Structure 1
Amino acid sequence: MDNTVALNKPADMPEHHNNGDVAQLRDQLSTLETFIRRRFDEISMEINATSQQIDMSEDGMAKRFGEILGVMNAISFQGDGTTPANTGVELEAVITETSKAANTILDCTDAMSALLYPEDESVWENAESREQALNILRDRMQDIVLACSFQDIAGQRIRKTLENINEIETRINDALEGMGIGEETLRTAAASGESVQSGASQDEIDALFSN
Structure 2
Amino acid sequence: MTTQPYRIGEAFNPDPALKKYYYLMYVISLILLGGFCISILAVTPDITGLIITIPIVAVLLFILYWLGLYYRSIIYELTPTEISWRRGVWFRQNAIVPYSRITNVDIHQGPVMRFFGISSLHLQTAGYSAQQMAELCLNGITGAEELRELIMGYVRSGPAIATESGGETVVPRSKDPVIDELRRIRSVLEEIEKKS
Structure with the greater alpha carbon radius of gyration: 1
Bigger helix share? 1
TM-score (norm 2): 0.27
Bigger strand share? 2
